[in-house]
Structure 1
Amino acid sequence: MNIEETSPHQHEAVFCQSCGMPMPEAELLGSEQDGTKNEDYCIYCYEAGEFKQPDITLQGMTDLCTGFMVEEGMDEAAAHKLLAESLPSLKRWKTAAAVE
């Protein structure tokens, strides 16, 4: 008996390690200087091997992303709470959070 092992959850969801945005399509992946895709960061945070906002703080990113989530219909307080809890664990902010 040959059963194909395919599942909609076969691949783990990929999230930007800067802003936390889900990146289900390759088009949303950031890029390196040579044009290859970077699987850690989205196109809105990382392009051509550099962060688009290199000087943004964790608080700044939390505020910025809260605005986008509110535009998508999420309650502002809930969005801010979710981001405040999740962003510090992302790759870009882990070191910064440990220093603060």
Structure 2
Amino acid sequence: MEKKICQSCGMALGDPGFYGTNSDDSRNEDYCIYCFAGGEFNEELTMEEMIEQCAEMYAMNSGGDAAAVEAARTHMTELFPTLKRWKK
């Protein structure tokens, strides 16, 4: 089974509490709670701004390992253009 990820930030959507919500408060199957709530994106960001925001969060959670953060940023730069929010 394919692992579901947020179509904005790439976060894993395994736990039901991580899913965003639609305007009727139903669960949104595409986006996480950090990106999408009440039927709207929580922040209007460019894809590049989202990558930087996610890289900063990753840095905080990885103890600031510069090589790991740069590897994550590279991965996000490849992944994000394939996600629903950023796909052209």
- Give yes or no for TM over 0.5: yes
Q: Larger Cα Rg: Structure 1 or Structure 2?
A: 1
Question: How far apart in 1 are the matches of 2:78 and 2:24?
Answer: 34
Q: Please, what TM-score do these two structures have when normalized by structure 1?
A: 0.80
Q: Which runs of 4+ in 1 moved over 6 A?
A: none
Q: Deviations over 1:24-70 (max 9, x none)?
A: 111100001111000100000000000001x2000000000001111
| 1:72 to 2:61 alignment | yes
Q: Please, what TM-score do these two structures have when normalized by structure 2?
A: 0.90
Q: 2:38 aligns with which of 28, 42, 48?
A: 48
- What is the match of residue 4 of structure 1? none
CA positional deviation for 1:90: 0.2
| 1:88 to 2:73 alignment | no
- Equivalent positions of 1:10-49 (< 5 A) are 11-49=1-39
Question: How far apart in 2 are the matches of 1:83 and 1:12?
Answer: 18
* Long gaps (5+) in structure 2: none
Q: What is the Cα-based RMSD across aligned positions, in Å?
A: 1.1
